Amino acid sequence: MLIRPETPQDIPTIRAVNAAAFETPAEADLVDKLRGQVTPFISLVAEVDERVVGHILFTPVDVAGAEPWQAIALGPMAVLPRKQNSGIGTRLVEAGLDACRGAWQDVVFVLGHPGFYPRFGFKRMSVFGITCEFKAPDDVLMVAELTPGAIAGRKGEVRYHQLFKTV
């Protein structure tokens, strides 16, 4: 398996992977709309036998509070249904977090499965006094410190790019 940054030639396949992995094309539409509109935009693909079978995206978020700050968020992540549960998602998250470190990001947020993301260091946002603009169960609102202590003293509400509100 090869994990690498997306290329322009990957765009149709990334769309197809996201459309296949989710119940509606909303996530595929979101990825297409975000591309070129946000920075940093970290988009990686997983290849097996020279075919794209997975995708992960990281985009910036603002954390509104007494002292506003910025971070990055993971999502969406997609793996072709026939390739799920084969380690591709794990490899995408690991490579994605490494890419975030390489882009000088020290805090990553995710709205994700509480049985999957904690293995990568994600903890409930509420532990840190952080909330999210989206209404979701507490156990799916998570954050990871890529630099130990990066959240110390920081609080606020995570606000995603306005395009996320269209999903």
pLDDT tens for each residue of 14-47: 999 999 999 999 999 999 999 989 988 999 999 9
More confident residue, 167 or 40: 40
In a domain, 110, yes or no: yes
In a domain, 166, yes or no: no
pLDDT tier for residue 64 given thresholds of 50, 70 and 90: very high
CATH code of 91's domain: 3.40.630.30
Burial 34-70 (b: 16+ CB within 10 A, else e): bbeebeebbbbbbbeeeebbbbbbbbbbbbeeeeeee
Supply the pTM of this predicted model: 0.95
In a domain, 116, yes or no: yes
Is the separation of the CB atoms in 8 and 67 below 8 Å?
Answer: no
In a domain, 167, yes or no: no
pLDDT tens for each residue of 71-107: 999 999 999 999 999 999 999 999 999 999 999 999 9
In a domain, 100, yes or no: yes
Task: Show the domain range for 61.
Answer: 2-161
In a domain, 40, yes or no: yes
Percent of the chain scoring above 90 in pLDDT: 93
In a domain, 112, yes or no: yes
Pick from 75, 97, 83: which is nearest to 46 by CA?
83
In a domain, 148, yes or no: yes
Looking at the DSSP bridge assignments, the partners of residue 3 are: 46
Domain count, the chain: 1
pLDDT tier for residue 127 given thresholds of 50, 70 and 90: very high
pLDDT tier for residue 69 given thresholds of 50, 70 and 90: very high
